[in-house]
Structure 1
Amino acid sequence: MRNIQYIIFVALAITATVQGCTDSLASGTGCYCGAGSYGQSSDNQGTGCQACPKGSNSAQASGTTTIAACTTCKDTNSTNNQNAAAPACYCNAGYYGDPTAATPITCTACPKGSNSAASTTASTIAACTTCKDTNSTNNQNAAAPACYCNAGYYGDPTAATPITCTACPKGSNSAASTTASTIAACTTCKDTNAVNNASTSTPACACKASYYGDPTASPAVTCQGCPNGQTSAVGSTASTGCVVCTDANGTVVLSGNTGSCVCAANYYGNPTTTGTSGCTQCGSGQTAPVGSTTNVCKSSFSSLLLPILSFLSFVMLMLF
């Protein structure tokens, strides 16, 4: 009976010794190095379990291991370099932090639109120096880096759901801006002799009056000035839009993309291209609008007022 009790006591002692590993980093049956460590525990006549490098991790061992066992990362936003001799975990591209620090710095996402490279030194937000959108530029602010669309583009890479930087319509332009999120930002023109229609939905640039060309073409056709003495309507795309009035009493009137020669104000008729004018002048004191083709001349109020005032002055002189 005593022999049986002795055997049970020894068995329990052995079990307690095996499961109560003396190496603090060892655990389980066999006292092998636990998760997050590597080596051979002192319980197994080894030099002891060693902690994986900061930020890196390992699985529970089933035998003797080397530092190469530390192949995973504790921070889910970091990546292990898989170096068998010196494994280490660094923040992924687009994150900043330092999981290898004595007190690990959590890998945190860069601000919307900005980016960072995987790096051992990407420990602060200042690492977020590049942009995810190729048509945006980083402000390189070490405290608050942010990416905005380039001039000539609109969008918002900083939005909760980033808005892609899209090129302005041909010929129109925009400034680099935090608010250039819609096409309405394309309010200027690349061609200095063009004007923007300032539409918030379909902004477009066209040549100024007295110029012709097509800044919206691919490639753009430069806006060129009409010859001396000629003019054109806004938006004229060809030299044929430039017109001249040879009638001495005529004037050019612009309509849309074309121009025409009509009689000047206070004249009526049809201009000619011969030496004799086709425009007849209204009588003294009479006026007519530009473009009158028939005699619509009328006396103006001011022309009637002078004779009336003269008559009243004469009457007053006679009375006094």
Structure 2
Amino acid sequence: MTAPNAPHGLARGLTNYGDPDFALYLRRSFATSMGYSKAMLARPVVGIAQSASGFNNCHRHFPELIEAVKRGVLAAGGLPIDFPTISLGEVFLNPTSMMFRNLMAMDVEEMIRAQPMDAVVLVGGCDKTVPAQLMGAASADVPAVQLLAGPMMPMSYRGERLGACTDCRRFWAKYRAGGVTAAEIERIEENLATTAGTCAVMGTASTMASIAEALGMALPGTAAIPAVHADRLRAAEASGQQAVTLAATRLRPSQIITERSVENALRVLLAIGGSTNAIIHLTAVAGRAGVEVSLRRLNTLSDETPVL
């Protein structure tokens, strides 16, 4: 448990020069070089872990999202400071994105732990990103709120709605079998993914967004807002405000990710018919908080929980 009089804001986790007063003086001096006033530097610091990259199409709207988070933090009396982490663009990674999930989790954890922040907003969406961010936040155990990227807007082909990436494989199988021509598969390719955001099907990204909300780590009602909708920006602003509240109350992930919330997330997973990958990810997230996910219990829950 964090002590009531523990250092906060820029005074958290001072660089070790052998003289804490010197370390804080030097930190304030360098922060001043970024144009912050003394009034701003006295506010609680909210870090914004952002995972945008030119190799991550799901996250290409993050610059706008982050500005909305900052609005919320400032409105609630905090100082927002964004910082980069590893970005895992699912289809741009070799040999597989799963190989890098734990690496990103370590990156998120260590950057939260190493830098002076009273709370953090985790901005992510693509398949392995949200699990990695939740894992890192659970281990760092600094007040945190997850902001999801939101799903992309689906397009259609010949009157049929397309969903990446369920229809990626479906149409590719038809093409390989000779049921779709080369010209047709090219047109489908151009319409599978046309906006920012995660895959608009109940794959890993949408499932983990739902789980983040069911766990209590994301604000209620924010999992499924489309990436390009104005409500997504309002959700970002609200997440920034919530981060300041979390900094004040010092409500930490270890108090949110509990046996009860994990079971709630498992029930939601079963009810929505979510990705089977989510079992692997939720087990890892829960494990960081000291909660075991029992496959025997999961089997019992699956027998009891109807699919929506």
TM-score, with structure 1 as normaliser: 0.21
Structure 1 or 2: more strand by fraction:
1
Q: Name which structure has the greater RCO, CA cutoff 8 Å, separation 6+.
A: 2
TM-score, with structure 2 as normaliser: 0.22
Structure 1 or 2: more helix by fraction:
2
